[in-house]
Chain A
């Protein structure tokens, strides 16, 4: 039984782990995101999330471990559980993203989304 489990593990683990592909260029461990991404960092810090101490790693992960350029909705669930559940319920899997309606980094509601109804925009996403 144990052997069978080991074989099963060896077969499926690489596929699972490949999900965590790394795309960020190599940086030194103490290099701050803002050293290269100064514009994005400034916009973020001036916004509500930056003021509340939500750091780059919440959405983008750690450059060495689990970096992602395009954060999935799961990254927002910690504070916006209902909004994420709403998106998952109402949008097809491939279209599930907060940035359909929200700007990157300011996270302000896009002009094009201001009149959109049926989502959490009426206050549910707060």
Chain B
């Protein structure tokens, strides 16, 4: 419909009047983005996934009223379905506006002073009794400055490693995969590689729905002849553009990856240059902990692959051997092959192995370290990379590639933060699932959760929800919305500023850091998390008689103060982004690290001097071009791992004969706290359902729209059936977004021994008509 200027002016006047009398009028959707006549356009980054699309936010009358893609950024002005409706998340009716304290089954409004005093009392009491009884659970959606501050506060200030974040649930296997293969985390390539790749190998990713703007670019490459291999047990929307779709029995793709390596070696499709000059070969002889690792030679690797013939892999995986052979040849023989994967590989009990095995294919074939040839992990959250992986907000990490278990790294950080020697604890803290287990058991007494929703997103969630309800523990939840499935369990809810209501830095999947400018004020008494964190840290230290230390550690006034310390902290590491000043980031459309000096343009491709990585010369001066300089102990060579096939922790059996997998819809993001508040998105995808293959539906005797009951060993749920030829037979799919139908009541909390990332993607269920 057409909105006249008169109508818009009337609405603007109404908005101003409402605001003046303290009413927070929700902007009618029809008027959102109705007129380019905004007061200002503010540069930022999309709030949703890890693609990190550049956006401009239109502000009128102190409200976000419009959004448009940034055409000068990598996304070339495009946004996905969700991104188009970003303004609506700001004015949602369930925005948290005041601190709330639980009184029995009710929440009552209290002042910030009361909230802060109570929180300090509870944390101080717990800490004095046992320094390891306080915990923080952070997020890949928090700004880098927030995550860095909390890491410093807990690991450095309080001397506890009881700090982890939700990227443990989505990216830990990718991170450990990169570190174990290349010596350092994060992809070496960039989105720019899509424009140079002739073959895309996409495994465990439905990028058409989870990363649509990246999918758009991949699809464009088909016009110039690029080929697409899609490995997925569902015929997803992404699979529509595949030249070769390889379906397989869920959880058995490791056999396919080894069989592809088998074909590459047997058919002599490998790169002798890489094998001779850039690779070492290793196997794990004992999973530990700690795992025992042994270096082996090329011959042993070839022998290891012997058993993974395409025929053998077909028997294990159900994927036709001819497809495996074809995929291996396409992968090896293309001019440049780019791999993408996401949760389908990461959320697995062998997630790290699966990551290693994709890297193996690139290393063997030399499909790496040149334009279009790269191995690229897609990311689920907007700042999982920048804030948590890079910044080290996981219980085993310290900032910028350092480890808590490494003596020198601890010493470095203690010096950098000005701490007494021995303050940082050498033992990694509990990981996400372990932390909530400890909280439920009362080992952790006071926990603070910020910017995430584990009451819905943890696997086997009902068990951990009970723990969060504990009467003898204290749970603080900082949230932009209330109630969520987590804040409803809190003792104290702190209202948080959302997205452009505060400023900070996001780092997305291709090492691109981007500054998000503050555009509007938060509603009512909501505050930026960083302000609350700094205030709390100072007050807690005062209560602990450590005021003198607080003055030194927490002397930050603005996010820029924190950012400047972060830059210093990255200096000299493989992440070095000293050159990314706040002033540069304000002007730029993102800068990719490493970026060691202020005149450095940022690095498109790492580990290759020829293509612009200046750190090759710094860390490996003898290298002519390629150097995996993160792997110094291996002579700057990457590792090809001998990883045997291993299926899921809980495969289907006679009692639970179907495999359940969970995932995303394009309309929604994670636990739906934002997108289910957007009327258009909610109307387009209103409720949870279960996808069932037509053959299975006939066996069970159900048709679309029938109600069916899914039951796993952990929980049960009734859903509407959608009978469709998308999942392969024996597999059912349920989206993970809906708080009223929490599929995580059924999912498995078994986790990868190396990354501690849970196996959301496969568990066994039975299905019956409800």
Chain B residues lying within 8 Å of A65, measured Cβ to Cβ, are 29, 679-680, 683
Does chain B have a CB within 8 A of A21?
A: yes
Within 8 A of B (CB), among A56-108: 56-58, 61-66, 68-72, 74-75, 77-82, 84-85, 88, 93-94
Does chain A have a CB within 8 A of B556?
A: no
CA distance A76 to B352 in the complex (A): 41
Contact bitstring A30-68, B, C-beta under 8 A = 1, else 0: 100000000000000000000111111110011111101
Does chain A have a CB within 8 A of B422?
A: no
CB-based contact A66/B684 at 8 Å = no
CA distance A78 to B69 in the complex (A): 6
Chain A residues lying within 8 Å of B81, measured Cβ to Cβ, are 53-55, 58
CB-based contact A64/B13 at 8 Å = no
Q: Which of B1-9, B409-417, B451-459, B587-595 contacts A (4 or more CB under 8 A)?
A: B1-9
**Known interface pairs A65-B29, A77-B68; A72-B1 also in contact (CB < 8 Å):** yes
Chain A residues lying within 8 Å of B33, measured Cβ to Cβ, are 74-75, 77-78
CB-based contact B212/A52 at 8 Å = yes
- Chain B: residues with Cβ within 8 Å of the partner, total of 56
Nearest B residue to A72 via CB reads B2
Does chain B have a CB within 8 A of A20?
A: yes
Chain A residues lying within 8 Å of B682, measured Cβ to Cβ, are 62
CB-based contact B679/A9 at 8 Å = no
Does chain A have a CB within 8 A of B441?
A: no
CB-based contact A62/B679 at 8 Å = yes
CB-based contact B219/A79 at 8 Å = no
CA distance A4 to B380 in the complex (A): 48
Chain A residues lying within 8 Å of B17, measured Cβ to Cβ, are 5-6, 8-9, 12
Nearest A residue to B219 via CB reads A51
Query: Which of A16, A55, A71 is within 8 Å of B7, CB to CB?
Result: A16
CA distance A33 to B34 in the complex (A): 23
CA distance A77 to B57 in the complex (A): 12
CB-based contact A16/B683 at 8 Å = no
Chain B residues lying within 8 Å of A85, measured Cβ to Cβ, are 36
Does chain A have a CB within 8 A of B302?
A: no
Within 8 A of A (CB), among B1-32: 1-5, 7, 10-11, 13-14, 17-18, 20-21, 23, 28-31
Does chain B have a CB within 8 A of A25?
A: no
CB-based contact A74/B28 at 8 Å = no
CB-based contact A30/B679 at 8 Å = no
Q: Which of B72-80, B102-110, B478-486, B540-548 contacts A (4 or more CB under 8 A)?
A: B72-80
**Known interface pairs A9-B21, A74-B33, A78-B84; A62-B10 also in contact (CB < 8 Å):** no
Least CB distance, A59 to chain B, in whole angstroms: 10
Query: Which of B67, B208, B209 is within 8 Å of A78, CB to CB?
Result: B67
Chain A residues lying within 8 Å of B68, measured Cβ to Cβ, are 77-79, 81, 84
Nearest A residue to B18 via CB reads A9
CA distance A13 to B683 in the complex (A): 25
Least CB distance, B721 to chain A, in whole angstroms: 13
Does chain B have a CB within 8 A of A26?
A: no
Does chain A have a CB within 8 A of B301?
A: no
Chain A residues lying within 8 Å of B77, measured Cβ to Cβ, are 79-82
CA distance A81 to B57 in the complex (A): 12
CB-based contact A64/B31 at 8 Å = no
CB-based contact B679/A53 at 8 Å = no
Nearest A residue to B240 via CB reads A51
Least CB distance, A80 to chain B, in whole angstroms: 7
CA distance A30 to B240 in the complex (A): 25
CA distance A77 to B84 in the complex (A): 8
Chain B residues lying within 8 Å of A52, measured Cβ to Cβ, are 80, 208, 212, 215-216, 219
CB-based contact B687/A19 at 8 Å = no
**Known interface pairs A8-B17, A15-B10, A72-B2; A66-B30 also in contact (CB < 8 Å):** yes
Query: Which of B3, B5, B76, B683 is within 8 Å of A64, CB to CB?
Result: B683
CB-based contact B686/A58 at 8 Å = no
Does chain A have a CB within 8 A of B66?
A: yes
CA distance A70 to B30 in the complex (A): 12
CB-based contact A70/B7 at 8 Å = no
Least CB distance, A43 to chain B, in whole angstroms: 16
Chain A residues lying within 8 Å of B34, measured Cβ to Cβ, are 72, 74
Chain B residues lying within 8 Å of A8, measured Cβ to Cβ, are 13, 17
CB-based contact B78/A57 at 8 Å = no
CB-based contact A19/B684 at 8 Å = no
Chain A residues lying within 8 Å of B686, measured Cβ to Cβ, are 29-30
Name, among A54, A55, A93, the residue most crowded by chain B CB atoms within 10 Å (CB to CB): A55
Chain B residues lying within 8 Å of A66, measured Cβ to Cβ, are 28-30, 679-680
**Known interface pairs A6-B21, A53-B81; A81-B684 also in contact (CB < 8 Å):** no
Does chain A have a CB within 8 A of B56?
A: yes
Does chain A have a CB within 8 A of B115?
A: no
Chain B residues lying within 8 Å of A51, measured Cβ to Cβ, are 208, 219, 240-241
Chain B residues lying within 8 Å of A9, measured Cβ to Cβ, are 14, 17-18, 21, 23
CA distance A74 to B8 in the complex (A): 13
Does chain A have a CB within 8 A of B681?
A: yes
Chain B residues lying within 8 Å of A78, measured Cβ to Cβ, are 33, 67-69, 79, 83-84
CB-based contact A62/B667 at 8 Å = no
CB-based contact B18/A79 at 8 Å = no
Chain A residues lying within 8 Å of B419, measured Cβ to Cβ, are none
CB-based contact B683/A62 at 8 Å = yes
Nearest B residue to A65 via CB reads B679
CA distance A54 to B85 in the complex (A): 12
Nearest A residue to B31 via CB reads A19
Does chain A have a CB within 8 A of B237?
A: yes
Chain B residues lying within 8 Å of A69, measured Cβ to Cβ, are 1
CA distance A72 to B682 in the complex (A): 21
Does chain A have a CB within 8 A of B315?
A: no
CA distance A9 to B23 in the complex (A): 10
Least CB distance, A20 to chain B, in whole angstroms: 4
Contact bitstring B205-243, A, C-beta under 8 A = 1, else 0: 000110010011001000000000000000001001100
**Known interface pairs A20-B28, A53-B80, A78-B83; A30-B687 also in contact (CB < 8 Å):** yes
**Known interface pairs A5-B21, A9-B18, A21-B1; A62-B11 also in contact (CB < 8 Å):** no
Least CB distance, B133 to chain A, in whole angstroms: 46
Least CB distance, B409 to chain A, in whole angstroms: 43
CB-based contact B212/A53 at 8 Å = yes
Chain A residues lying within 8 Å of B240, measured Cβ to Cβ, are 51
Least CB distance, B391 to chain A, in whole angstroms: 30
CB-based contact B29/A16 at 8 Å = no
CA distance A85 to B58 in the complex (A): 13
CA distance A72 to B32 in the complex (A): 12
Does chain A have a CB within 8 A of B717?
A: no
CA distance A51 to B33 in the complex (A): 24
Does chain A have a CB within 8 A of B306?
A: no
Query: Which of B21, B84, B680 is within 8 Å of A79, CB to CB?
Result: B84
Chain B residues lying within 8 Å of A93, measured Cβ to Cβ, are 4-5
Nearest A residue to B212 via CB reads A53
CB-based contact A2/B28 at 8 Å = no
Chain A residues lying within 8 Å of B10, measured Cβ to Cβ, are 12, 15-16
CB-based contact B667/A55 at 8 Å = yes
CB-based contact B7/A15 at 8 Å = yes
CB-based contact A61/B29 at 8 Å = yes
Chain A residues lying within 8 Å of B5, measured Cβ to Cβ, are 93
Within 8 A of A (CB), among B282-335: none
The 5 closest A-B pairs by CB, nearest first: A81-B68, A78-B84, A57-B680, A62-B683, A68-B1
Residues of B participating in the A interface, judged by any CB pair closer than 8 Å: 1-5, 7, 10-11, 13-14, 17-18, 20-21, 23, 28-31, 33-36, 56, 66-69, 71, 76-81, 83-84, 208-209, 212, 215-216, 219, 237, 240-241, 666-667, 679-684, 686-687
15 new A-B contacts at CB < 8 Å, known A5-B17, A51-B219, A79-B77? A5-B21, A20-B28, A20-B31, A29-B686, A52-B215, A52-B216, A57-B683, A61-B679, A62-B683, A71-B1, A74-B33, A78-B79, A79-B68, A82-B71, A126-B76
A-B contacts, 13 of them at CB < 8 A, read A9-B23, A12-B17, A13-B14, A20-B31, A29-B686, A52-B212, A53-B212, A58-B680, A62-B682, A74-B36, A77-B36, A78-B69, A79-B78
